[in-house]
Each structure stands twice: as C-alpha cells, then as structure tokens.
Amino acid sequence: MPNTKIEPLRYDPSGVLSAYGSSFGQALDALVPALDAARAEVIEEAASWQRGDTPPPLKTPLDAGFIDLPERLLADYNGPKRAESELYKVVTAARRLAESVDRAVVLGIGGSYMGARALFDACCHPYWNELSRANRHGCPRLYFEGNNLDNDAMQGLLDLLARGAGIGAAGKGGDDAASRQWGIVVISKSGGTLETAIAFRTFLAALEKSGGDVKSLVVPVTDLGRNEKEDDYKSLLYRLTSDLGCRDTFEVPDGVGGRFSVFTAVGLLPAALLGLDVVKLLEGAAAMNRHFREAPVEENVVLRYVGVGHLAETRHGATIRAMSTWGKSLEAVGLWYDQLLSESLGKSGRGATPLTVVNTRDLHSRGQQHQDGRGDKLITNLIVEGVRQDRLKVESRAADRDNLNWLAGKTIPEALDAATKGTNLAYNSVSRPTADLTLAQTEEASIGQLLQMLMLATVVEGRLIGVNPYGQPGVEDYKRNMKRLLQEQ
C-alpha cells in the first residue's frame, strides 16, 4: 500500500464521443468483453513470466516482467532485507555518485534514456543545469548523449566537461572536488548498440584523460547474463566495464524490454541522481497497476484509453495519435511515449502513429491542421492541474497602452486553462475528437501512474489487435546495414 494518498489520473473521452456520435459510444460498450479479455491475457502473461514458463512462439519475446516490477521493488525495499534490495542499491549508488560529481552524463538511446529524460524534464526545475549545486540540493547536472551520432553535439559536451573540470561551479556552489568532477552512467541492455558504444569509448577516454577514478565514476546499466556459447558475458558493455572494475553495476533484468525499463535502474538511477523520490514514483506505478487489475472496464483508465484509440483508428481512420501536452514539462514524456507506441505496435503494417504536441506552443504551428486538415487524428490532451511554483499574474500598467489591463490579475495557469478549454471547444465545433488525460501534478506519484498507464495500455492494445508488443525486429535492419557500410569504408 502507498504511504501517501495518491491523486488518481483521470481520463475523459467525452470530446471523442461527441465528435463521433452515439454509435461510437455503442461500439465502445460492445468492445467491453474484448478489452476485459485483453486485460486478463496481459495479467496472465505477467503471472506466467513470474513462473518462468516458456512462452509460445507467437508470444516470443514476452517481456512481461515490467508489469509487476514496481510492486516487487517496493516489497523488497520495505522488507526485512532492505539493504540487499535493488532500490536501496540504486539510491545508495546514486548518492555516492552525486557526492563525487557535479555533472553526470547519461549515455543511452531509445528506451535506454528516454524514460530518464522524461522524469528529468517532468519533475526537475526547468533550468536545473543552470542552478548552483546548493540549489540542486547537492545533486549533479545531467546531460544525455550516446543517443545519436552527432559530432558537434558530442564535442560540445566534451568541451563543456573539460572546461567544467577547470572552473567547476566556483563562485556558485564552491570549488570542491565534487563541483569539478564528472561521471558517466552508461545504459544499454544489449550492450552492443553502436551509438551508445561509440559514445562510451569517447567519453571514457576523456574521463581517463581527466584523471578521474573510472572505477567509481562510471556506472554501467546492462544485461549481466552469460553467453553459454562463448563462455563470456552477453553484453559487450559489461565485458568492458567489468574489466574496468566499476564499483557499482546495475542490471536491466531479464524480461524487461528497453522501452518498458523506466522502473529499473535504467530510469531509477538517473532519477535518484537528481534527488527524485523514487519510492513515490514506484508507488504511483503500483497504484496504476491496482487500478488496471481491479477497476471495471467502463471505469478503467487504461482500458478506456485503449478502447477509444482503437475504435477511433479502426472506425474513423484516426491513425495519428497526438499526445497534446499543455505546458512544457511533459514534452519528453510525449517523446518517450512516441517510441513506446511506435516500437511496440508499429509492426506488420499495423500500429497508429504517435505525435507529441506541446501547447500552446504548437497551436501556432499545428493548430491550423488539427482544426481544419485531414480528419486522421485523435487528440489526447495531457493536462496538469497543479503548478509547482508560485502562480504568476498578468501585471497591470497605469497607461494600458497595450490594452491588456482587462487581463490584469489573471494568473498564467488561468490563461493556460482558457487556452485548453478554448481549443477543445474549437475542435469540438468541427467534430475533431479530443480526450483529456489529467494529472494532479508533475511530481513523482503522478508521473509514475502515467508512465505505467501508457505501458499497460500499449501491451493491452497489442493483445487486442494481435500484435506482439515486445521486441523490435524491424530496427535490426538499419543496424546491420550501418555496420556493414562502416566495415566496407
């Protein structure tokens, strides 16, 4: 049970029902048994994964280990052997690294960094890396690399790290050793992804050159399994980092795929480095699991969301799913979801196309099309009720030359709320479907619920339409070609 009361996530598809008319509501009612069956299938898969059953060929891979993971992690952490629990080790390693470094570079791509990025943007100060060490509560600045092959971006970061080693956070947060030092969290489940591997070699060489103690400044997160054929570790990353003698190493557990790994060390270690409350995050995810298992289909946020998306696509051709975030902090959550949905369901010519939208910014770039373009979009507004900082108000001015005094005293959140409602009204007036997904706050418990909800929804939809949501065989083609072309060069 969570220690604190968790404000539940809410889903309201009334703007979809009104846009598509009463037959849509009837189709949604008719879909209840299929959604119930898909839920039962997903729950059984989690149980079967726990029992260690071999999945049938059509369900291979079956990475259902993510489903009960939050509960397992919390149970171990709250149990009698806390110091041996994974969560304790993650928090301890994060604390140790945070004390040693002022800048941490997270190397990883796809599911191996997007969850951490989402947590960073959603839960931290928007200008975190600009804050003094004291204002970051002694936590490091965070950078993401190894997610591209961009020479100038990598050089830029190396340059910054080298300069940081010279000037540290002097004048802002002191110039002790920690304020000058940097470290690496390198994340790759397979341990062989080229973008991350190349970046790791590059940043490792720079760290060695800077004289940093690599053993304690590099924390790998990867598969720790052995390859029986070669009698060595499967992960090339692990082969390298175990030779280095890294003090802390974390595993991406078996049965948890990259894009479902945000609640393993892949997401939790960077989150703990940033001082986020990882227990609350997991409690939010566990609360969503409970709701998913227990709530009737008609009240179930996960199943309603799946049903609406599925029917909008199959009955009305809404093949584009726009996740319209209101405010800036959830853009990276949207991008995380883009890869989750694309890689999970974009198979065999199937799968809706996700699109992250940030409003009100994108009303001035995409608004015209969403109001008036092709009717191929289902818009889900991601709305946050609370704010974390004091509410700004529109100032009044004596001369009122810009005629804005009528707004004086109104808050920025009130203006955003009017923009959200006004946009929904505008879309509704031309039968453009909009649903609202509402979070209490951009803090750990809400974000934990949201991420778990979207992962569950993705696998439920996969089972509903007969697409295995796990694995991403299509991505292998580019990797093979790229490697061959590099070898031929």
Per CB under 6 A, residues contacting ligand PA5 are 109-112, 188-190, 193, 196, 257-259, 339, 343, 472
* Residues 6 or more apart in contact with residue 376 via CB below 8 angstroms: 317, 318, 319, 320
Q: How far is the CB of 446 from ligand PA5 (least distance, A)?
A: 23
Is 190 or 405 the residue whose CB approaches ligand PA5 more closely?
A: 190
In the complex with ligand PA5, the residue whose CB is nearer, 86 or 343, is: 343
The CB-of-191 to ligand PA5 minimum distance in angstroms stands at: 7
* Minimum CB distance to ligand PA5 smaller for 190 or for 428: 190
Sheet containing 182-188: give its strands across: 141-145, 103-107, 182-188, 218-222, 250-251
Q: Least distance in Å: CB of 6 to ligand PA5?
A: 27
User: Which residue among the candidates 145, 343, 444, 461 is catalytic per the annotation?
Assistant: 343
Cβ distance to ligand PA5 smaller for residue 189 or 321: 189
Residue 31 or residue 224: which is nearer to ligand PA5 going by CB?
224
Percentage helix, strand, coil for the chain under 3-state DSSP, each rounded to 5 = 55, 15, 35
- CA-to-CA distance for 419 and 464, rounded, in angstroms? 35
Angle at the Cα of 59 from the Cα atoms of 55 and 62, rounded to 5 degrees = 70
The least CB distance from residue 243 to ligand PA5, in Å, is 19
Of all residues in the shown chain, the one whose CB is closest to ligand PA5 is 258
**68 and 289 in contact (C-beta within 8 Å)?**
yes
HSE-CB for 161 with a 13 A CA cutoff: 31
Residue with smaller CB distance to ligand PA5, 230 or 488: 230
Least CB distance from residue 447 to ligand PA5, whole Å?
Answer: 19
Q: Which is nearer to ligand PA5, 182 or 200 (CB)?
A: 200
- Closest distance between ligand PA5 and the C-beta of residue 392, in Å? 38
Alpha-carbon Rg for the chain, nearest whole angstrom, is 23
Q: Which of 5, 294, 364, 488 is catalytic?
A: 364
Please state whether beta strands 250-251 and 353-359 pair in parallel, antiparallel, or not at all (unpaired): unpaired
Gap between the Cα atoms of 101 and 201, Å rounded: 20
Tell me, yes or no, if 316 is annotated catalytic: no
**How far, in Å, CA of 223 to CA of 202, rounded?**
21
Does residue 376 contact residue 370 with C-beta atoms inside 8 Å? Answer: no
Token couple for 53: 């059953």
Q: Which is nearer to ligand PA5, 110 or 220 (CB)?
A: 110
343 is an active site residue: yes
Q: How far is the CB of 66 from ligand PA5 (least distance, A)?
A: 11
Which of 97, 73, 68 has the alpha carbon at shortest distance from 85?
73
DSSP 411: B
Give the Cα-Cα-Cα angle 142, 146, 147 (nearest 5 degrees): 95
Of the candidates 59, 89, 410, 479, the residue annotated as catalytic is: 479
Q: What are phi and psi of 169, to 5 degrees?
A: -105, 30
Question: How many angstroms separate the CA atoms of 243 and 36, rounded?
Answer: 49
CB of 468 to ligand PA5, least distance (A): 13
| Encoded tokens for 276 | 């986020």
| 479 a catalytic residue | yes
Which whole-number Å values give the CA distances from 460 to 275, 312, 465, in the listed order?
33, 16, 9
Give catalytic residues, as residue numbers.
Answer: 343, 364, 479
